[in-house]
Amino acid sequence: MRLCKDLINKPIYTISDGRNIGDAKDLYLSADLETMAGIHLGREGLVRRKSILIPIDAVVVFGIDAILVKSDDVVTDNKALSDSASWVRLDDVIGRGVDTPGGTKVGVIGDVVLDEDGSVAGFVLSKVYVEGPISEKRLISHDAIIDNGNVDGVMTVEIARAEAPELAVAPAEKAPPEKMPDEIEPPKAADALPESDPVIEAEVEVEAEVESAEMDTSVIEQDLPPTADA
């Protein structure tokens, strides 16, 4: 999953000739706030201003440093693309209040979470006015939305579904912690020390007995009195 704000201000290049055709000034969402619809590049014109945009189906990949599109002819405007009239700018979604059907204030939208396929998975709260799971995760699943707020600017959510732990923005991967000394696994059978050989042990014992016997003999010879012939 990715946050929509991470795509803002990214340069846009064509894969046909590598030309920079602008930057992502804002994003468009579908009217039901279920999918990403396009990229907003800015406005043109003095009297009859029009929004310059790129529809989502012209995007090849959202990269880490840039956005790649098919070619420069994918750039159009809101007057040429009639479907864009119903699209909602990300900038218009951020800042919307969130409440329950009973009127309890839940929070304020701070960002939108996208799936890998561009579907809206949920919403990040920049402000939270309630306690519990919503306050802890600061995320609301798209499935919990009852009213998207396009009319009055306030989203309505089903609080029980909003508190369900269904949505989470994956954190950066971390290396597993090192094991403490008492957690270190014992050596495997292949690494274990070889068992002692009983034959070798017996030979060592015999050699030790022979050396001991030779030592005793030399002591006895030193204690014997000299003979008459000496």
End position of a domain, from candidates 89, 107, 140: 89
11 and 76 together in one domain:
yes
* 30-77 pLDDT per residue, tens: 999 999 999 999 988 766 789 999 999 999 999 889 999 999 899 999
pLDDT reported for residue 153 = 92
63 and 98 together in one domain:
no
pLDDT reported for residue 192 = 47
Q: Would you say residue 39 lies in a domain?
A: yes
The answer to whether the beta carbons of residues 157 and 96 sit under 8 Å apart is: no
pLDDT reported for residue 173 = 41
Q: Would you say residue 224 lies in a domain?
A: no
Q: Would you say residue 109 lies in a domain?
A: yes
Contacts of 55 (CB under 8 A, 6+ apart): 37, 38, 74, 76, 81, 84
Q: Which two structure tokens, joined as six digits, stand for 117?
A: 């396929």
78 and 123 together in one domain:
no
117 and 154 together in one domain:
yes
Q: Residue 21 to residues 4, 13, 24, 69, 127: CA-CA distances in angstroms? A: 20, 6, 10, 9, 36
Number of domains in the chain: 2
19 and 49 together in one domain:
yes
pLDDT reported for residue 207 = 57
46 and 22 together in one domain:
yes
81 and 139 together in one domain:
no
Instruction: Please give the angle made by the CA atoms of 105, 110 and 111, to the nearest 5 degrees.
Output: 130
End position of a domain, from candidates 27, 61, 89: 89
Residues of the chain where predicted confidence (pLDDT) is lower than 70: 46-47, 165-230
Query: d(Cα 111, Cα 90) in Å, to the nearest integer?
Result: 8
- What range defines the domain where residue 15 resides? 2-89
158 and 107 together in one domain:
yes
Q: What number of helices (H) and strands (E) belong to the chain?
A: 4, 16
- Helix ranges (H only) for the chain are 90-93, 133-137, 159-162, 198-223
Q: Would you say residue 106 lies in a domain?
A: yes
13 and 85 together in one domain:
yes
DSSP classification of residue 41: E
Kindly report the CATH number assigned to the domain that includes residue 70.
2.30.30.240
3-class DSSP state for residue 14? strand
Query: d(Cα 121, Cα 143) in Å, to the nearest integer?
Result: 8
| Residue 12: closest CA among 91, 59, 67, 86 | 67
pTM: predicted TM-score of the whole model, two decimal places: 0.68
pLDDT reported for residue 193 = 47
pLDDT reported for residue 225 = 54
- Other beta carbons within 10 angstroms of residue 47's beta carbon come to 4
